[in-house]
Copies of this chain bind each other. A is one copy, B any other.
Amino acid sequence: MDSEQKKYSIGFRVWIKEENGHYLGRGRITLLEQIKTNGSITKAAKAMQMSYRQAWQMVEDMNKLSNNILVEKILGGKGGGGAKLTKAGEEAIEIFYLLEEKIKNYTEKLSKEINL
């Protein structure tokens, strides 16, 4: 038997749901960040090793479930146009990280309170 006391911590994942489905989680936030960096859904999809179709579907879903669209598609131009985040898209990233941080702080507090 191990006589040392074990040390525990709390892990979590968090996401935001809308009444009609999954809205924002870590994966979608990463996609928004990649679109912001790359200015293109195609390049963002490539960076995340997913198909363009999958990434495009995620963008469609997010846009549909948000009060204001998060990603604006820029049509035409060389390479078939690009995409960029709207103000609401930038804010969605911030809100998600704020949420994660608050829950992280709370779980750290809980891990001392609860006799794990």
Of A31-39, A43-51, A100-108, the one contacting chain B is: A100-108
CB-nearest residue of chain B relative to A9? B17
User: How many Å lie between the Cα of A107 and that of B100 in the bound state?
Assistant: 10
How far in angstroms is the closest Cβ of chain B from A61?
A: 13
* B95-A116 in contact (CB<8A): yes
Does A16 have its Cβ within 8 Å of any Cβ on chain B?
A: yes
A14 within 8 A of B: yes
Residue of B nearest to A16 (CB): B8
Contacting pair B12 A14 (CB below 8 A): yes
- Chain A, 65-104, contact with B by CB distance < 8 Å: what is the 0/1 string? 1110000000000000000000000000001001100110
Q: Which of B7, B23, B110 contacts A18 (CB 8 A)?
A: B7
User: What separation, in Å, do the CA atoms of A20 and B17 have in the docked complex?
Assistant: 33
Check B14 against A18 for contact (C-beta < 8 Å).
Answer: no
5 CB contacts below 8 A, A to B, read: A8-B23, A9-B17, A11-B15, A98-B114, A102-B110
Give the B-binding residues of A (Cβ under 8 A): 5-19, 23, 65-67, 95, 98-99, 102-103, 106-107, 110, 114-116
